[in-house]
Amino acid sequence: MRPVIGDITWTTPGQTSADSLPIGNGDLAANVWTEPNGDILLYVAKNDAWDHLGRLIKIGRIRVTLKPGLDTAAAEFEQKLSLAEGAIIIRDGVSTVRLWTDAHWPRLHIECESSRPVECRARLDPWRTEPRPITDGEIHGACGLEKAPFELVAQPDIVVRKERAGIIWYQRNESSIWPVTLELQGLTAFKDQAQDPLLHRTFGGCLAGTGFKKRGDTTLVGPKKSRACALTLTVHVAQTDTAAEWIQAIRTQALDESRPAPAEAWPDHTQWWHEFWDRAHLQIEARAPDWNQAATISQQINWQRYLLACCSRGLFPLKFNGALFTADWGVKGEEHDADYRRWGGGYWWQNTRLPYWSVLAHGDYELLRPLFRMYREMLPLAEHRSQVWFGHGGAFFPETQYFWGTHLPSNYGWDRTGKLPGDVENRYIRHYWTSGLELIALMLETYHHTGDTALLEKELLPVARAVLKFFALHYSNDAQGRLRFAPSQALETWWEVENPMPEIAALHYLLPQLLGLPSQHLQVSDLGAWRALTARLPALPVATVDGRPKLLPAASHEGVPKNSENPELYAVFPFKLYGLGRPDIETARWAFMRRSFPDTGCWRQDAIHAALLGLTEPATFYVTKNFTDGNLTPARFKGFWGPNYDWIPDFDHGGATQIALQHMLVQAVDDKILLFPAWPVRRWNVKFKLHLPRQTTIEGELKDDELVHLVVTPPERRRDVIVLLNKDKSAPIEA
């Protein structure tokens, strides 16, 4: 049952990159737009193009010109994003240009066909031409380096002169902030066991095409009377001893005849996308006139998934604040270049996690690998830091950090006078260590889906051992022999806390699952340590409010909140102790109804919590609001959400909404599969195919109150399905 994917077709050109469409292969991506004069422009980005300041910046900008040019005023003019093929096609009735990023190689192809002879020109269109100080508000794009004791300078691109292979340009990091972050944070000794990940990192491209000739160092010109031509942009990132070594490497790649030509690569490329779209779908249809809301939501589901696939298959995880699609958005007060993104190059766990939770139901497990890889690789630094700062083993991961694992310097604090190494200046994140626990939960859920023993042994268990060891050693016991989490905090909202809900709920949720893993993968010490930690767990913070038990953010906290999160509901998601099919759901529902900060959008989780609690009306309201408010973005492509709290595109916004919609439709609780637990049956019909734990897929169609189609794979899992159509969701769930 092939879904309606929702291609985008525009019949007018754009003005700036705010009018761009996205393509990408998970590692290499581009914003593509057409100017009124018919020129096609591309901002090209790569997943590992980190500059010396730890910013993820663009590879460069390319301008493509046809002579005669594309007629953007022609009745036949259109620019189309084909999601099914991962390609952009621009045509005017005479000439057609197709752009696509090869699903299997770090190459971007530009192919032109015309019914009349044309000349194709392509040139590097640089804006980084001189060293330039980063000052004033733009420093937010290098977040973490505010008030640094050194000047922040954006470096220019270097164009290789008289290069025969094509147009070659690059940036090379001749300096690095990596040692500064370690030295500032008392981790200097770690430099001896690690390599600077920024120094001499070199990134750039080689643009070339058969039959094209150089015109200077930055322009390629094709034959004057050609009806078909093709250009290929090869992109390469590496840490090399010299620039010459990098140049030779990209030259070799660009000229490598063993790689398939565009015509040969295209079938494999489209096959990848066809398999991607066949893997899962969720398409809703309105049962009555609804101002196009259902159709818009269905589009957004596919757009969000497509953008994740475009950005999440490289060496590093998705950047929540724009990923590979930052552009010249023209946001008032932030009119900086396309290298700018709010919150800079660091990773915020609270923001990074939500898109990744959403990929599980789609079965897009390969998109999780960069996230797990990054945290596994920063584990040695995290363990070293725990020993140096606190004098004990284990590991914690800061809420905000660079990809190598250190705090951002301005969060940690530049002035260390009178401070111990573990004294973090920024109180929003001082004791915010929930990320390691939620990472374990996400790894466990992925393992339950896939049964991947390599994930279990190489990533999940090493991280779990270190993180749980930290919590076991870092906190002392109270008079009853239970862990006393203090000093502590509950997310960013409560700073003076004893026994916060997120940490306690996490340990109650994780430890039984870890102890239940296949024994052949566990060490004897695992069982002893985790059983001992279980015996020390304090009770969840719960109190009677207005005569009913209610989940609390913490056992105690200060009177004035510092942010607007609802930590008490972490016991619903991501640590699923409460919800449909689980005990004491009314306690959690009462907490939801009495939450301090009801809201939606960006990283807010109200839609997810409502869905998991079987609260159909608020879940439906929030999902609809999130996915149909096109005014939330200045971008022409309405899948580029933001800026919200993050930047454009805001991947939190789409991620949270995806998770909520998936859980409205189906939830896995222990071995049970709850179908339609919070679905607005009277409002929406739906066709779906989603993935569940135990390598299960569920595919079906709900039409006018009737389940007209249902296939569960493997078939024996069909008996675990509980259809909740027209059932009382306040009563215990029974088969």
Q: For residue range 581-598, what is the model confidence (pLDDT) as tens digits?
A: 999 999 999 999 999 999
Residue 603, token pair as written in the block: 């990283």
Name the packing angle between helices 461-474 and 379-390 (round to 10°). Answer: 10
Residue 146 counted as domain residue: yes
Of 424, 257, 298, 325, the closest CA to residue 101 belongs to: 325
Among 308, 319, 316, 291, smallest CA distance to 658 is for 308
| Cβ-contact 5, 277 below 8 angstroms | yes
* Domain carrying residue 30: 11-279
CB 203 within 8 A of CB 170: yes
- Shortest CA distance to 341 belongs to which of 353, 356, 329, 355? 329
The reply to whether 215 falls in a domain is yes
214 belongs to a structural domain: yes
User: Is residue 142 included in any domain, yes or no?
Assistant: yes
Instruction: State the amino acid at position 418 in one-letter form.
Output: G
* Pairing mode, strands 281-286 and 684-692: antiparallel
H or E segment at 587? helix 585-593
Which pLDDT band, with edges at 50, 70 and 90, does 732 fall under? low
Per-residue pLDDT tens over the stretch 677-689: 999 999 999 999 9
Residue type, 330: G
Here the CATH number for the domain that contains residue 28 is 2.70.98.50
Tokens of 47: 């997943």
What mean pLDDT do residues 44-58 have? 98
Radius of gyration from C-alpha coordinates of the chain? 26
CA dihedral angle for residue 466, residue 469, residue 470, residue 473, rounded to 10 degrees: -160
Whether residue 3 is predicted with pLDDT greater than 60 in this model: the reply is: no
- For residues 373 and 428, is the Cβ–Cβ distance under 8 A? no
The reported pLDDT for the residue numbered 224 is 87
Cα separation of 501 and 40, whole Å? 52
Report the share of the chain in percent with pLDDT over 90.
96
Over residues 93-97, the mean pLDDT reads: 97
Residue 184 sits at the vertex; the CA angle it makes with 183 and 189, to the nearest 5 degrees, is 25
Q: Following DSSP, what letter does each residue of 314-369 receive, concatenated?
A: SSSPPPTBTTT-------TT----TT--TTTT-EEHHHHHHHHHHHTTTT-GGGGH
Asked whether 205 and 44 are in contact (CB, 8 A), the reply is yes
Whole-angstrom distance, CA of residue 376 vs CA of residue 374: 6
41 is a domain residue: yes
Phi and psi of 31, rounded to 5°?
Answer: -90, 130
Diameter of the chain measured on Cα atoms = 87
* 735 band by pLDDT with thresholds 50, 70 and 90: low
Q: Are 384 and 405 in contact (CB under 8 A)?
A: no
Inform me whether the pLDDT recorded for 14 exceeds 80.
yes
Residue 731 counted as domain residue = no
Determine the pLDDT at residue 479: 96
In a domain, residue 452? The reply is no
- What secondary structure letter does DSSP report for 458? I
Q: Which two tokens stand for residue 534?
A: 């279980």
What is the b/e burial string over 637-665, where b = at least 16 CB atoms within 10 angstroms of the residue's CB?
Answer: bbbbbbbbbbbbbbbbbbbbbbbbbbbbb
Side-chain half-sphere CA neighbours of 333 within 13 A:
4
DSSP 8-state assignment for residue 537:
P
Beta carbons within 10 angstroms of residue 454's beta carbon: 9
Q: Which 3 state secondary structure label does DSSP give 437?
A: helix
Specify the pLDDT at position 702: 98
pLDDT at 432 (0 to 100): 97
- What pLDDT is stored for residue 632 in this prediction? 80
pLDDT value, residue 726: 83
Position 132 confidence tier, pLDDT thresholds 50, 70, 90: very high
The residue-averaged pLDDT of 209-231 equals: 95
pLDDT of residue 5: 72
pLDDT at residue 727 in the model: 81
Half-sphere exposure of 265 (CA within 13 A, CB side): 19
Residue 307 structure tokens: 């953008």
Q: What angle do CA 644, 348, 299 make, to 5 degrees?
A: 45
**pLDDT by residue (tens digit) across 178-202?**
999 999 999 999 999 999 999 999 9
Across the chain, what does the average pLDDT equal? 96
- Both ends of the chain: CA-CA distance in Å? 28
CA 501 to chain centre: 25
pLDDT (average), residues 666-672: 97
pLDDT tens digit sequence for 380-400: 999 999 999 999 999 999 999
Predicted confidence at residue 518, as pLDDT, reads 97
Per the domain annotation, does 219 fall within a domain? yes
Number of domains in the chain: 1
For residue 111, which amino acid is it? E
Q: Name the β-bridge partners of 284.
A: 686
- Transcribe 228-271 into DSSP letters: EEEEEEEEEEEE-SSHHHHHHHHHHHHT-TTSPPHHHHHHHHHH
Q: pTM of the prediction?
A: 0.97
pLDDT score for 734: 62
> What is the predicted pLDDT for the residue at 1?
44
